[in-house]
Structures are given as structure tokens and as C-alpha cells.
Amino acid sequence: MKVIDHINQAAGNSTLISFEILPPLKGKSINALWEHLDPLVEFKPVYINVTYHRSESMFKKKQDGSFEKVEVRKRPGTVGICAAIQNRYKVDAVAHLICGGFSKQETEDALIDLNFLGVDNVLALRGDAPKNESSFEPEPGGHKYAIELLQQISNMNNGIYLEEDLKNAVKTNFCIGVAGYPEKHFESPNMQTDLYHLKLKVESGADYVVTQLFYDNKKYFEYVAACRSYGINIPIIPGLKPITSKKQLTVIPRTFHVDIPEELSSEILRCKTDADVEIVGAEWLLQQSKELKAAGVPVLHYYTLGKPHVIANVVKELV
Ligand code: FAD
């Protein structure tokens, strides 16, 4: 079932739950993923997102002692994991797709795989620049912005493939989500410009928005209000992630370009151990979730990244 159909079916009467996971590191068993997800699935998520990861350049030592640059995808398997999730849990999976590192042909092939596997939900994203590069560069023959990827998916939903002369091509049936940024995408000169580009994605067929994580609900509420006054009227799903270590006080703002409220950061700084931080982070997430639920958000989307027990403890207080 499509994410948008889940939302419409709930019709504002209940707030749904969804989770996001990362594929295991290359060489690891999928059992690690099941151990992570099994306790979370108890809470009846309506869908589970699986992130996509571009390959990264690494230097590998050769036998003669010199180094060669190789491209390694550390977390492969998104498409297969989506199918395995649907098979194991009978819960819909949402495959993230990114522009970075992919040609349009490779994207089309991934979409055909997803369609054959019965995965009807995708999140269309641009992806970021590789860690050692300063700005995002599209793959030769690939997309520069998420909107171009979205248009490719919309085209396939209308039976239009890259070989436009394909006769009677199968129409895919993808529900397409896109990303939104309550604190503005870091490359956008201002919020208005960011909203302008988001609106273009909506006009190109996006069904809903999932937000970047945030720790101040006021920023989410203001963002939704700004989107509405800009004519963006599709569901806007809040993305949520607990803080579980002191290190994250600097890593999260650097990685995700979001603020951590002073009230939360000072409480974390007073903690003696990361176990204490986990308690503070979980309590903050619970209060955020309760307020968002009371405000009638369509879905609470949790980035579970390695801390399923924290999410489980929060969600159990909500259901
Ligand atoms: P875009 O919509 O392309 O926007 C990127 C920037 O360009 C913005 O500043 C926008 O305003 C601007 N822009 C957009 N269109 C145009 C245009 N036509 N002309 C000029 N400027 C334009 N990354 C991964 O690698 N894998 C994942 O699985 C993943 N999952 C994510 C899930 C969520 C919910 C979120 C919020 C992010 C995720 N990311 C993921 C990170 C994401 O790829 C980055 O935030 C990336 O920097 C932007 O992606 P986007 O889809 O918003 O890009």
C-alpha cells in the first residue's frame, strides 16, 4: 500500500508511526537488521524506510606498498532489503533513491527491480557530496537535483522510460516522497528559495514531504505554516531522532545543519555519562512526539540509526 494511502486512510483521526533504517555494512548479515527491527515492528509501523548510500573513494594498499583509489559502497542492498522487509513483516517498505553516483539508466534499472519486487514507495533525494568533496556533482548521465529524479519516476508511472519509443511499457505505480528542511537546506540562500524548489517538486508529482530531523517543534510548526502559505498542501511528516551521546552535540549540527535548543544542550552537558545522555535524549524525544501527536501530524517518522531501544521506549509511551 502507498504511504499516501495510509495517510489518507487515517484521515487525521490518528497519528501513524514509521521507522527509518540503514542497510547493514557490507559483509554483515541481514540478521543484524532483523535484531534491530524485530522489537520496533511490535509497534505496528505503517511503513519502514531504507536509506541509500553512494559509494565513497578509499585508498587501498597494493602488494607493492603503493596505494590505489577505489570506489566502495559501504552499505549496499537497499532494494533487496526493502523486498525482504515486506516479505518478513508484511509492512510496506520505502526505498530511498539518490541522484549522487547514479546514471539515469542505473536509476531506471533500480526502479524496474523495485516494481517487480512489489515495492511501490520511494523517497526521491539528491544525496550529498562525498565526504572529501566540497560540492555535489552529478554522475555523468545522472541527475543534478532531486526534482529531475522525481520527474524520471513520474514518467515511469506514466509508462515513459528513457527509451521513449518503448511500446506498451509497463506503468509503474510509485508513491513518491521528497525531503523538506524546517531549518532550510544548507545550500539554499534563504527559506523562500528552498520553498520555491520544494513547490516545484510538489508540482512534479511528489505525494508527501518528510522533514530533516529537528529538536525544536516550533521550527516544524513554522515550516508547515510557511509551506501552506506558499501553496504547498501535501502532508509534511516530521523526522525525529534522539540524541544519545555528548559527541552528537557537535556532530548533529555539523552533519544535518540543524540547531539544538539551549535547554537540551545544557541538560546534556550536565550529564556524567552517555547512558545519562540517552535518558535525557529519550525524554526530549518523547515530549516532542507527544506535542506533535497532539497537533495532529499525519505520521511520526523515527530515524532509528543504531538505537532501536531508545525509540521503542519512546513509542511505547505513545501507543
Ligand atoms: P534537492 O531537492 O535537489 O535540493 C538540494 C538543494 O538544491 C536545495 O538547497 C534546494 O533548494 C536546491 N535546489 C533544488 N532544485 C533546484 C534547482 N532546480 N535549481 C537550483 N537549486 C535547486 N542522503 C542519502 O545519501 N541517502 C539517503 O537515504 C538520504 N535520506 C534522506 C532522508 C531525508 C528525510 C532527508 C531530509 C535527507 C536524506 N538524505 C539522504 C540527505 C539528502 O540527500 C541531502 O539533504 C541533500 O543535500 C539534499 O537532498 P534533496 O533531495 O533535498 O535535494
Chain position carrying cell 539554499: 188
pLDDT at residue 58 in the model: 79
> Distance from the CA of 165 to the center of ligand 1, in angstroms?
31
**Nearest protein Cα to ligand 1, atom 44:** 127
What sign does the dihedral 261-234-207-141 (CA atoms) show? negative
- The predicted-structure confidence for 279-292, as pLDDT tens digits, reads as follows 999 999 999 999 99
Give the nearest ligand 1 atom to 210 CA.
Answer: 34
Q: What are the pLDDT digits (tens) for 86-128?
A: 999 999 999 999 999 999 999 999 999 999 999 999 999 999 9
- 291 located within any domain: no
Q: Is 95 left (phi over 0), alpha (psi -120 to 50) or beta?
A: beta
203 lines ligand 1 (CB under 6 A): no
Nearest CA to ligand 1 atom 42: 127
Tell whether 147 is covered by a domain: yes
**Per-residue confidence (pLDDT) for residue 319, from 0 to 100:** 79
Dist. CA 145 → ligand 1 center (Å): 7
Q: Is residue 293 part of a domain?
A: no
Q: What is the mean pLDDT of residues 69-78?
A: 90
- Residue 132: give the domain boundaries: 3-242+298-316
Q: Say which DSSP state 17 is in.
A: E
- Per-residue model confidence (pLDDT) at position 60: 84
Identify whether 283 is part of a domain. no
Residue 55 placed within a domain: yes
Ligand 1 pocket test: pick from 48, 135, 144, 185 the residue with the most ligand atoms within 8 Å of its Cβ.
Answer: 185
* Total count of domains within the chain: 1
pLDDT band at 160 (very low <50, low <70, confident <90, very high): very high
Mutation choice for ligand 1 from 47, 125, 192, 256, CB with most ligand atoms inside 8 A = 125
Residue 256 lies in a domain: no
ipTM over the 0.95 cut-off: yes
Query: Considering the domain boundaries, does residue 263 fall inside one?
Result: no
In a domain, 279, yes or no: no
Cell of 290: 507527544
Answer yes or no: are the C-beta atoms of 52 and 96 closer than 8 Å: yes
The Cα angle at residue 135 between residues 130 and 141, in degrees rounded to 5: 75
Query: 64: domain CATH number?
Result: 3.20.20.220
